[in-house]
A and B are shown apart, each in its own frame.
Chain A
Amino acid sequence: MYRAHVLVCGGTGCTSSGSHGVMDGLKSELKKQNLDDEVLVVQTGCHGMCEMGPIVVVYPEGTFYCRVSKDDVPELVEEHLLKGRTVDRLLYTGEGDVHVPHYSEIPFYSKQERVALGNCGYIDADKIEEYIARDGYEALGKVLTSMTPEDVVEEMKTSGLRGRGGGGFPTGLKWSFCAKSPGPKKYVICNADEGDPGAFMDRSILEGDPHSIIEGMMIGAYAMGADEGYIYCRAEYPLAIKRLKRAIDQAEEYGLLGENVLGTDFSFSLHVKEGAGAFVCGEETALMGSIEGRRGMPRPRPPFPAVSGLWGKPTNINNVETWANVPSIIRRGGAWFASMGTEKSKGTKVFALTGKVKHTGLVEVPMGITLREIIFDIGGGILGDKKFKAVQIGGPSGGCLTEEHLDLPVSYEDLAKAGAIMGSGGMVVMDEDNCMVDVAKFFLEFTQRESCGKCVPCREGTKQMLLLLKKICDGEGTMEDLAQLEELAHMVKDMSLCGLGQTAPNPVLTTLRYFRHEYEAHIKDRSCPAGACQALIRYRIDQDKCKKCGLCAKNCPVNCIDGDRKTQFVIDEDACVRCGTCYDKCPFDAILKL
């Protein structure tokens, strides 16, 4: 019996901050202290608090340690594991510098509701037995022995689960289409392409709880009459692919995957396909093309995958997080899942909170929670106590919402009404230093680069939009440019073939809707109110504050600051290249940024 379990995070984030060293250190230190048969070291997946990594959690107390380094290990073993004393300096520090020893008391976690991430950071993803110990494959057993395929589809409809890959299509309904499609051969696919650059919830589930995806897909396959599945995972996720493949091997060894699962007539085989790495490959028709070995380009729908999908066969495709919710729904009932959330958005959703908030990371919250709760209670508010300005929701093709939306319940319908989308759950928080024109340009740069080029509105339209945005940021825009930008945005949205083009203008449209005055300031006043657009910044010396130390003049790389210590210092604004050096160097804050 192991009296204590030390969980070391082995997710991508903590691995890069050195968790392997901590893990190895722990093992050898425990051996040295003869504790290796009393204390178990477990490698888990991501806890969602990667910026505080490497994360180590010690049970049975549930003590949460952050930023643990290899050098901390001897103290941790001697103090906590031998003598039972918490090592305070490694605890999470909350408001007012108080140490918070327990996971459950950290504000970042206390408002979360973990379903899809339930096992992440709690079990060893490489051990199927740990998944089974946490009710794993119980739901599969339940459907195979006591439910008809129709029952399963009904249960999914009752749950109200909607696709977590971006579109938010009701999962049960989608399954019913594929279930009704005739034919002896059908496929199920897991979309693990996760193209949104800020999101990493799918990766965390793949790394931390791969069996939940396998189990979810098998339940779906049984419900729809499929016997083969693919997991399409981006090649940039090597750890996720490794853990998935090991999980598949283990499930096969246990007879939970393969022929006649659990002694029933149900058989299922599962493959992992490494993605080609383009954003558009996450679009379902492009993705299927890529699996078939063609170039990943979208094709018009209908026919929908449920009718003619992979190799022309009826196919159902769902996102990682969607599949990961399925076993819990079956085990605990659709009604349980539907008891969380709002009228039309049920259950929980994982968000990747980043940007100018104090605590970034993965958070799983019940639908209907407000943006304010996510950003201020869970995220701890804005960095450096600056002012909140906006939040971009839904990744690069989402929209920017403002202060007036802070009390908006997070749900598919409320976000859509405000002009944003749920998307895959990216959430980038911006403060007063962010220029919204610049932000729109930044996101459009991403989608423009990722356009596959098949259709003209997206290929040419996004390019023209980007040129106009650059012109405005450079202070050379006109009001006609602004009108043209808006017109183009609507056109690209309405006329593009796939979701990439249809959503690419969202950041532009929402910033135009909520921050039009900032666009106009760039054009009419030739100024950037947030002081972010380099070309529009003017540096000037505040003669009242200047102590004539001359440091600015000495450091200016183009020698455009004139003057001497007897008279005054002046910046030649025409020659200034706006490098900001003088602004940083002045010890008296006498350089003004206008």
Chain B
Amino acid sequence: MAKIKSLDELRRIKTSASDLTAARSSNAVKVIVGMGTCGIAAGAREVMDAVLKEIEKRGLKDVSVQTTGCIGMCQEEPLLDVIYPNKGRITYGRVTPEDVPRIVSEHVVNGRIVEDLVIARVDD
């Protein structure tokens, strides 16, 4: 480890280190992947991988990724929800890993819903 020589250097380390604990603070946007048995069978693990990779690639802070069990929409799996604070919950269905970059860049980053993949919405 190179020695820290100034307060600015310390702050740079802080910025990169904050990823370490980011998942422990309250996050603005939530991404939820359905991980019931049928979700996993339909490819939810691959979707999850793609979500995590995309977030890492873009260096997004303030996003948390959670899982959920079966919610009774098995025919639409893999399911992915995006929840923006005070903006309700949007559910995307039959999500493939290829759809993920679009959902992340449009919805998670810019707040624009990817209409063609939406299968349900719940208002606050």
Contact = CB atoms under 8 A, between A and B. Distances in A.
Verify that A and B bind, or say they do not. yes
B62 to A, nearest CB: 11
Given A61-B66, A83-B67, A254-B3, A3 B14 contact: no
Contacts of A127: 20
Given A83-B69, A141-B7, A60 B36 contact: no
B4 A60 contact: no
B75 interface: no
B1 interface: yes
Given A84-B69, A255-B5, A60 B10 contact: no
A579 B21 CA distance: 56
Interface in A1-43: 1-5, 7, 34, 38, 40
A553 to B, nearest CB: 61
Q: How large is the interface on A (under 10, 10 to 19, 20 to 34, 35 or more residues)?
A: 35 or more
Interface string B65-85: 111110000000000000000
A262 B65 CA distance: 37
B18 A84 contact: no
Contacts of B13: 129, 132
Contacts of A132: 10, 13-14, 17
A135 interface: yes
B10 A137 contact: yes
Interface in B17-60: 17-21, 23-24, 27, 30, 32, 35-36, 45, 48, 51-53, 55-56
Contacts of B18: 133
Contacts, number: 101
B5 to A, nearest CB: 4
Contacts of A581: none
B23 A59 contact: yes
B20 A130 contact: yes
A4 B4 contact: no
Residue of B6, B10, B51, B64 ringed by the most chain A CB atoms within 10 A? B10
A517 interface: no
B5 A262 contact: yes
Contacts of A256: 4, 10
B3 A60 contact: no
Nearest to A81: B67
A4 B23 CA distance: 6
Contacts of B11: 138, 141
Contact of B21 (A1, A82, A133, A141): A133
A262 B51 CA distance: 38
Given A3-B66, A83-B67, A130-B20, A145 B7 contact: yes
A563 interface: no
A137 B45 CA distance: 39
Nearest to B39: A83
B5 A85 contact: no
Interface string A368-389: 0000000000000000000000
A129 B18 CA distance: 8
B52 A1 contact: yes
A255 B3 CA distance: 5
A145 B67 CA distance: 45
B33 to A, nearest CB: 8
Contacts of B45: 34
B21 A130 contact: yes
B14 A60 contact: no
A83 B5 contact: no
Contacts of B19: 1, 133
A3 B17 contact: no
Contacts of B56: 1
21 contacts: A1-B53, A2-B23, A5-B23, A60-B30, A61-B66, A81-B67, A82-B35, A82-B67, A84-B67, A84-B68, A129-B13, A129-B20, A130-B21, A132-B13, A135-B14, A138-B11, A141-B10, A145-B7, A253-B3, A254-B1, A255-B5
